[in-house]
């Protein structure tokens, strides 16, 4: 690590904490905007938010992520700018931010691709960002942190860092326009007949699925047959919901964050597509050598009545089926982390705890470990991606079953929005409760873990429960 750059980053604490949506609008005309936002009052997973735009480099081609080192280009772009983290500031202070699509994992596991992929997003799209606007929601403070790369000499790097910080500060001071006010959703450039076969979703005008209800029930039965045959223990099966885009993507994000607040919310814009996410689930994090993952397995609709909510919470906690589903994934993730963590360091501080969100209750576990010497964030991502909670067990065979039964590529769904900092730290979400916006259409996939005890009708209903908070943002 280069120790000769002690005068960077440039850090500017803001006199007043900017509104997140106003800050997002202030950089909306810049390329490759990414917002990682925490939106609930739960400090262990929801304290910091980060906004970046206008990267110094960007990677979004499939060829760069195949082969023995799928993250080689990003690793090579970031390594020259490694820097110690400044104490007392939010943990991400510049580095790589972007998207890992689900099919990235399928590519290096040699899993066949589904028949349809009309949205055709890259399996990896990530930039190297030299400046970040960071919020600490617990302290009620915000900073611009500017690293000054790609300059390499101390003076040039300091000058660039100051210039880039001043540019962002000026934008924030001039911001204030309403979200999405200057935009209209683009006309649809794909007609339904150009998409995968679609079926109307009962009770939701203008909403389509790539499964009919009957076909989804049959697919659940097929997964159960694989389980009884001993092929797998569990697989995550999803359906893709599709609607015409009703509003600009940033307006959809504003609606979603209000109606379905989440600890791992996010927005990303690149080329002609955008991602709008209200994910409740951390994929994996790394800070000061400590690794953590928090899988979600087990979901119930949240009743409005407090007494009914307590009853549902108890029912979820006591559910043998949901416990079995969760524990299987905990075991899978313990094995994944053991590939890169010190021997005997992987522990489970939380097993099957109930967490309450705006529209649902979730059964959540926490697995931790200590990274082995000489390994870092990229090694961790390669070891654990895609997440076990959205594939199944054993992972590779579950992914093959998913590819067989799901007609459409998942794309960003069940992938991740992530950062890897200049200091080697990282954090990431599982992209569930997520819209993908492109060509005048919005897609949102929802799924659930299928085990031997699964009831197909209940599994279908669970997917629609998960979609409820998302669908409210479309009207």
The backbone torsions φ and ψ at residue 211, rounded to the nearest 5 degrees and listed phi first, read -125, 140
Flag whether 1 is in a domain.
Answer: no
Instruction: Count CA atoms closer than 13 A to 215's CA, side-chain side.
Output: 15
- Per residue in 26-78, pLDDT (tens digit) is 999 999 999 999 987 666 667 999 999 999 999 986 544 555 577 888 999 99
Whether residue 135 is predicted with pLDDT greater than 60 in this model: the reply is: yes
Whether residue 112 is predicted with pLDDT greater than 60 in this model: the reply is: yes
Instruction: Give the list of residues 6+ apart from residue 186 with CB closer than 8 angstroms, or none.
Output: 245, 439, 440
* pLDDT number for residue 6: 52
* pLDDT number for residue 2: 36
Instruction: Give the list of residues 6+ apart from residue 359 with CB closer than 8 angstroms, or none.
Output: 260, 301, 302, 465, 468, 469
* pLDDT number for residue 387: 94
- Band (pLDDT 50/70/90 cuts) for residue 197 is confident
Helix pair angle (320-338, 377-384), 10° resolution: 140
Q: What span, in angstroms and rounded, lies between the C-alpha atoms of 3 and 250? A: 40
- Per residue in 77-94, pLDDT (tens digit) is 999 999 999 999 999 999
- Band (pLDDT 50/70/90 cuts) for residue 430 is very high
Flag whether 408 is in a domain.
Answer: yes
Compute CA 167 distance to the chain's CA centroid, rounded to the nearest angstrom.
29
Whether residue 178 is predicted with pLDDT greater than 60 in this model: the reply is: no
Q: What span, in angstroms and rounded, lies between the C-alpha atoms of 277 and 417? A: 9
The backbone torsions φ and ψ at residue 437, rounded to the nearest 5 degrees and listed phi first, read -115, 120
Average pLDDT over the chain, rounded to whole? 91
CA-CA distances (angstroms) from residue 101 to 96, 323, 394, 411, 416? 15, 28, 20, 5, 7
Whether residue 245 is predicted with pLDDT greater than 70 in this model: the reply is: yes
Average pLDDT over residues 367-384: 96
Least confident of 44-53, 63-72, 123-132, 381-390: 63-72
Flag whether 190 is in a domain.
Answer: yes
The total number of structural domains in the chain stands at 1
Instruction: Count CA atoms closer than 13 A to 402's CA, side-chain side.
Output: 33
For the stretch 205-211, contacts whose Cβ atoms lie closer than 8 Å and that sit 24 or more positions apart, written own/partner, are 206/243, 206/244, 207/241, 207/242, 207/243, 207/471, 208/241, 208/242, 208/243, 209/239, 209/240, 209/241, 209/242, 210/116, 210/239, 210/240, 210/242, 210/406, 210/407, 210/408, 211/239, 211/407
Average pLDDT over residues 12-25: 96
Which residue, among 143, 355, 351, 386, has the nearest Cα to 262 in the 3D structure?
355
Whether residue 177 is predicted with pLDDT greater than 50 in this model: the reply is: no
- Per residue in 288-347, pLDDT (tens digit) is 999 999 999 888 889 888 899 999 999 999 999 899 989 999 999 999 999 999 999 999
Q: What span, in angstroms and rounded, lies between the C-alpha atoms of 201 and 203? A: 6
Known catalytic residues are 281, 297
- Band (pLDDT 50/70/90 cuts) for residue 447 is very high
Q: Name which residue leads in pLDDT, 217 or 196.
A: 217
* pLDDT number for residue 5: 44
The backbone torsions φ and ψ at residue 141, rounded to the nearest 5 degrees and listed phi first, read -135, 160
- Band (pLDDT 50/70/90 cuts) for residue 20 is very high
- Band (pLDDT 50/70/90 cuts) for residue 219 is very high
Flag whether 2 is in a domain.
Answer: no
Which residue, among 467, 459, 29, 7, has the nearest Cα to 236 in the 3D structure?
459
- Per residue in 223-243, pLDDT (tens digit) is 999 999 999 999 999 999 999
Flag whether 174 is in a domain.
Answer: yes
Flag whether 173 is in a domain.
Answer: yes
Residue 383: both structure tokens together: 């070891």
Is the pTM value of this prediction over 0.95? no
Highest mean pLDDT among 3-7, 100-104, 254-258, 266-270: 266-270
* pLDDT number for residue 220: 98
* pLDDT number for residue 359: 81
Flag whether 3 is in a domain.
Answer: no
- Per residue in 251-271, pLDDT (tens digit) is 999 999 998 889 999 999 999
Average pLDDT over residues 439-443: 94
Dihedral angle sign, alpha carbons of residues 192, 104, 387, 250: negative
Range of the domain at 107: 10-472
* pLDDT number for residue 343: 93
* pLDDT number for residue 192: 58
CATH assignment of the domain containing 162: 3.60.120.10
Task: Report angle CA 139, 144, 149 to the nearest 5 degrees.
Answer: 140
- Band (pLDDT 50/70/90 cuts) for residue 183 is low
In sequence order, the β-bridge partners of residue 143 are: 13, 134
* pLDDT number for residue 1: 33
Are 369 and 333 within 8 A, CB to CB?
Answer: no
Are 388 and 449 within 8 A, CB to CB?
Answer: no
């Amino acid at each position: 690590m280069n120790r000769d750059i002690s005068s960077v980053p440039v850090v500017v604490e803001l006199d007043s904490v900017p509104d997140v949506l106003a800050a997002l609008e202030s950089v909306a005309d810049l390329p490759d905007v990414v917002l990682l936002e925490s939106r609930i009052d739960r400090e262990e997973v929801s304290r910091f938010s980060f906004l970046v735009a206008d990267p110094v480099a960007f990677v979004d081609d499939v060829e760069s992520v195949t082969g023995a080192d799928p993250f080689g280009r990003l690793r090579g772009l970031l390594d020259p700018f490694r820097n110690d983290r400044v104490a007392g500031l939010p943990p991400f202070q510049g580095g790589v931010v972007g998207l890992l699509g689900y099919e990235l994992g399928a590519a290096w596991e040699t899993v066949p691709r589904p028949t349809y992929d009309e949205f055709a997003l890259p399996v990896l799209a990530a930039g190297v960002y030299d400046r970040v606007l960071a919020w600490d929601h617990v302290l009620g403070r915000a900073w611009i942190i500017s690293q000054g790369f790609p300059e390499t000499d101390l003076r040039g790097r300091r000058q660039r860092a100051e210039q880039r910080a001043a540019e962002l500060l000026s934008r924030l001071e001039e911001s204030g326009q309403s979200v999405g006010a200057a935009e209209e959703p683009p006309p649809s450039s794909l007609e339904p007949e150009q998409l995968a076969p679609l079926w109307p979703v009962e009770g939701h005008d203008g909403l389509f699925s790539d499964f009919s209800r009957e076909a989804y029930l049959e697919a659940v039965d097929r997964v159960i047959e694989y389980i009884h045959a001993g092929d797998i223990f569990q697989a995550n099966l999803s359906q893709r919901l599709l609607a015409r885009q009703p509003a600009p993507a940033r307006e959809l994000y504003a609606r979603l964050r209000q109606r379905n607040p989440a600890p791992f919310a996010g927005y990303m814009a690149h080329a002609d597509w955008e991602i709008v996410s209200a994910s409740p689930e951390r994929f994996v994090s790394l800070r000061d050598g400590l690794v953590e993952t928090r899988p979600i397995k087990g979901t119930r609709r949240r009743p409005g009545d407090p007494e009914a909510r307590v009853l549902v919470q108890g029912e979820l906690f006591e559910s043998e089926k949901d416990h079995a589903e969760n524990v299987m994934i905990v075991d899978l993730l313990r094995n994944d982390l053991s590939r890169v963590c010190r021997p005997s360091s992987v522990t489970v501080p939380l097993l099957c705890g109930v967490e309450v969100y705006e529209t649902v209750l979730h059964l959540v576990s926490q697995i931790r470990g200590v990274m082995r010497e000489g390994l870092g964030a990229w090694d961790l991502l390669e070891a654990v991606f895609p997440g076990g909670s959205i594939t199944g067990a054993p992972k590779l065979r579950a992914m093959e079953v998913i590819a067989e039964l799901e007609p459409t590529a998942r794309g960003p769904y069940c992938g991740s929005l992530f950062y890897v900092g200049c200091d080697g730290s990282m954090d990431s979400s599982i992209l569930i409760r997520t819209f993908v916006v492109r060509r005048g259409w919005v897609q949102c996939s929802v799924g659930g873990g299928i085990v031997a005890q699964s009831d197909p009708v209940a599994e279908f209903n669970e997917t629609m429960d998960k979609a409820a908070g998302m669908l409210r943002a479309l009207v």
